[in-house]
Amino acid sequence: MSETARNRLMLAIALIMAAIYLFPLYWMYVTSLKSGSEMFANPPSFWPSSAQWQTFAFVWESRNMSRYLWNSTVIAFGSVALIAVLGTGCAYVLARYRNVWVDVGLFLILMLQVLPASLMVTPIFVGFTQVGLLDYPRLAVILAIAAKSMPFFMVLVRATFMAVPMELEEAALVDGNSRVGAFFNIVLPLARNGILVSAILIFMQAFGEFVYSKSMIQDVSLQPASVGLNSFMGPNTSEWNNIMAYATMYVTPILAIFVLLQRRIVSGLTSGALK
């Protein structure tokens, strides 16, 4: 097979895989615009005959969606701030000080990343109850997300710090900077892209977090949008157009952020691949 034919074949496979992956997203948007009768038509239509735009306004007002999105934003920004402040320093230490104990610590960090939230939620819930953190449920969720997502952030940012030559720090030390000054004046500006990308990925994860929020936040006025979406579910659920309209308004801001920043995200993820 010639190189041109092989490239065309790979392109065709990539397009087919992308179509399969994106079809549920397309179906969510289409279903949100369908009427109740058209939604259950057989065979199904792939485009609404008459778009029901009023569904979005109805769901926004009836579900008080602005409150849910605000809570999701507060939890996401709080998680990112806490993880970025603590995780950046930890990642720098793991990148610069190499010995057997650092390698053991890195291994333990990676092991923490594989633990699912459903496994961690019970001991975290019990511990937070004993210290009274559940009296501040959004703070409790932020701390739980930070505990879960910190390893992911540290591994990504560590690779970024390892791509920054140590010679630059040594030159800064020779010029009279302290170790802390060299970090803030030299290393941190060079690693900002990787840190920013890692923070964006953490934000997207925290914005859609469900398990901790559902378990720890009982006050409806403090629940995020992921829990609000779950409130639609019941034994006789049939308002799928309303559910899809809610999901559309919930997902679209994150998709927009990803599309606008996709090049920066890719460059940040690969910044530590080569030295």
Give the span between the Cα atoms of 202 and 10, in whole angstroms: 31
Question: Average pLDDT for residues 53-80, to the nearest whole number?
Answer: 92
Query: Tokens standing for 166?
Result: 């140590």
Give the span between the Cα atoms of 161 and 158, in whole angstroms: 5
Minimum mean pLDDT among 26-40, 100-114, 204-218, 219-233: which range? Answer: 100-114
For 23-53, give one letter per residue: b (16+ CB within 10 A) or e: eeeeebebbbbbeeebbeeeeeeeebeeebe
Q: Is the pLDDT of residue 273 over 60?
A: no
- Domain 65-273 is found in CATH 1.10.220.70: no
Query: Tokens standing for 52?
Result: 């029901």
Q: Is the pLDDT of residue 274 over 60?
A: no
Q: Looking at residue 163, what is its pLDDT?
A: 84
Q: How open is the CA angle 65-67-71, to the nearest 5 degrees?
A: 115
Question: Average pLDDT for residues 210-228, to the nearest whole number?
Answer: 91
Q: Is the pLDDT of residue 64 over 50?
A: yes
Q: Looking at residue 5, what is its pLDDT?
A: 84
Q: Looking at residue 237, what is its pLDDT?
A: 67
Question: Average pLDDT for residues 156-163, to the nearest whole number?
Answer: 87
Question: Average pLDDT for residues 219-223, to the nearest whole number?
Answer: 91
Q: Which pLDDT band holds residue 71 (cuts at 50, 70, 90)?
A: very high
Give the span between the Cα atoms of 99 and 65, in whole angstroms: 50
Could you check whether the bond before residue 151 is cis, i.e. omega within 30 degrees of 0? Answer: no
Average pLDDT, the chain: 85
Percent of the chain with pLDDT over 90: 28
Q: What is the pTM of this model?
A: 0.84
Q: What is the pLDDT of residues 104-127, one digit of tens each?
A: 877 887 777 777 888 888 899 999
Q: Is the pLDDT of residue 73 over 90?
A: yes
Domain ranges for the chain: 3-52, 65-273
Q: Which pLDDT band holds residue 50 (cuts at 50, 70, 90)?
A: confident
